[in-house]
Structure 1
């Protein structure tokens, strides 16, 4: 992603007045290499949601380039766009919202293959992916309400893996889970990056969670990338004010609510 800018037109304040606009992203640069896990952190309203939509190709930026496998997504031909849609998949915060409660898990997992018209042994692919996320084939015949929150997030990850993507975008994937389950999902994502050679973009507002799962972090504030670095550097030597605020918000036993454990 190079120099991406996104501006939204707002409602007019008067009948004949000029229509105001809001710049949500301001010349954003972000890159991720094959087999690399990067984090994107920022406070609420920093522009993470808009950036996620652009990363997945669901929203076109006003200016700038979204590059994938050497081509610009929005100027590419139909076949390259199809390749992009198959290669970039997303895992959302709440897995229940992405799974039809009336549909068995096995059927839900087949949906990406059908919608993207991927020709393969569908049954074998379902079993393979369930094994990759640590669930057995008995999950195929069960419904979403029969699983715990952590298991549902594994199913959501499995659904994203079905087309065989190169890039996995995880948008707040553990914020809705109990702390005891968060580490399991984070370890799963780390294993997938290592074993499958995936590129992972991990989006969150919690710097400590992102630091555990990624090797490079982009800090976002007011629609801009204000700092980039290794998690340890950002924790111990934050340069931007937004980074210092995120570090100060990390809770610990020693620092308590003051968030001073890293001082």
Structure 2
């Protein structure tokens, strides 16, 4: 059949993504991207070092980033993003700005990093007091807290796994369990750190349960990159992406008279928990048991 009348594929805008060599969640990144945007990924060279502050420094060396960005310019992206949280906060605010400048100069196009995008997202939400969940060791988690403190963000709760390899294998259940442990001090938002940590499906679940914005490393990276192109990230009921979700559950109370059930069981929540329920239509489908 002659399909010439279709006129070819849809025009695409491109986002160049520089990821660490061990990044394993390409598919997760794509889930935030609308159909008229393409991701073009490249990876930093392999180094035989476990996840640590040393690795964060190695994968974020300026010449490494310049070479990656120069390779990406072959496909003419509209923006380049360095998708690594620890690699972009390990040098503090000045280090993150220098990395962004090096990438911008190498490709002569807009550039951003995950840690820079996180600060942009927190400003967007007006959140200055947050809790953090990380898969890192204590020293790397300390460095994240230091970066946030330097930016005027208070960390009022944190939880970390102490992993040095294969972070992409962490289950959704582990992420949810850590998140529940760090919000006792009523933060204004929760951040799930590390681009290699699976988070896409747990964000709406946690926002519904915890009644606060939930950000993740991959989410803020794609949100910022797409916004620089004049595009919006896609995703189910996430405060950063959805103006309705950003107003909070209370704004939807009139639309949802029926009580919610808890994330893990069908038992009704308490009266306090159901004071401002979300409409069932905006809640994601339950996750499989092995992925919650």
- With structure 2 as the length reference, what TM-score do the two structures score? 0.28
Q: Which has the higher strand share?
A: 1
Structure with the bigger RCO (C-alpha within 8 Å, sep 6+) is 1
